[in-house]
Chain A
């Protein structure tokens, strides 16, 4: 029996593939190793016993609290686990929580300063990428299990930051705004010189996305559903218009005198009943 999820039934199943791609990148992709050191290579040798065995990286389970959405944590999250200080000591539960600082970031594309809650790691990443916009649009990502896979994907993915590493809604929304501003060229409208300069600087990142993908980037499941419903909404058509036109057509077929001069009114013309109430119109339509 197939597993029923929100992606296989209802609005979730109808959502466009662009949104599903973003969702996969955000929630299902394995984020970069932040809280543990990743072992590299295929095989590992135990120097004492000279045993050789496969290298397998099992990531630490992370907790993403709701506060992560209001800040820029740079891939960090809460780690829940135990501390054990000695052989004859009981293990003690412990939460490793990132240090959060208040700071300001500046986005060059949006030309705005923002007061945010940020970790030192995120600030370091901003500095390493030479700016907040560069950090959002691009970041090195090396999280693949298969080494050959890595070798192939290294080039295709080097240019952009996956959503799983940005993680928080705040950064994803900002990235969405930046991408939309770049795609529509709505940056620095008052300053044409700055406009061309900044656009030339960040133009390279647009190649990773189509316009449709940008449209669906950085939305939560709920927002995406609402957007989809709004797009596919059809205003209900009153049945009386349909029946009336059918009736007139029938009367015309039978060549009844009264129906000869009456035109079939299309639903567009019948848009509002207020038109009929106009006291200054000399002749009524019907």
Chain B
């Protein structure tokens, strides 16, 4: 598909500007026409569906007269191309408002038409990326710079991901410790989440150990994304030692509901998204 047919048409128009009808000019005019129609041919060719071809072409007819009557052999067709099975070109769009996972106003996206048309174009979340629309929505994006709903397109998804987590904070059973930011950072890293220390806000009261009363109990830390959005992530303390005989083993600890370390945190922890949802078993016959 052509990205900017309008521009192309302008180009074609420029090609085909009328010239004086003298004989000397005729040749250049001819080449222009040929060039012009190569464009037009391109347009037509790209848009067809069942493209057929006569196996036995119709014989030439006289100038300025009707074509010959078609014989049945002229109705034997060969399929040249079926454009319905051809890969579709992505659509160039520009967002008119914030769309989760895509971006804020004025972001240009390129999507498959089967997805872009029902999900973005019809609900008016996006518009075609014409030069006028690009100018219009870029201007709108600059005006709305300060009251963006989210700082980035993927923030919403990240927040949802983090709020569903219960991080295991694994601490030593032998060596005395007080919980610090780098402990949290290291334990997040184990789960594949990389964050700098200055984004972590620790609980107000210090937690120190080893203290087996705190084993398997919950608390929360607050994580700041892009210096703006804040997510509370629940954490669960666990004591670990290298000596295998005295290691604590909890079966299916990821499913177990636990108590908070600080009783005043209970309403906040309860309000967070569930960390474990039992999947329904489906029976297959």
Contact = CB atoms under 8 A, between A and B. Distances in A.
B250 interface: no
B33 A151 contact: yes
Most buried by A among B1, B37, B113: B37
B283 interface: no
A22 B130 CA distance: 32
B256 interface: no
A135 to B, nearest CB: 12
Contacts of B2: 128
Interface in B39-68: 40-41, 43-45, 47-55, 58, 60-61, 63, 67
Per DSSP, chain B at the interface is: mixed
A41 to B, nearest CB: 7
B91 interface: yes
Interface in B1-52: 1-2, 5, 9, 13, 16, 33-34, 36-38, 40-41, 43-45, 47-52
Interface string A102-121: 01101000000100000111
B47 A81 contact: no
Interface in B131-184: none
Interface residues of B, number: 48
A131 B47 CA distance: 16
Interface string A25-44: 00000001111111011000
A142 B39 CA distance: 11
Contact of A84 (B13, B51, B76): B76
Contacts of B5: 128-129, 140
A33 B44 contact: yes
A147 B37 CA distance: 10
A81 B51 contact: no
Contacts of A82: 72, 75-77
B13 A155 contact: yes
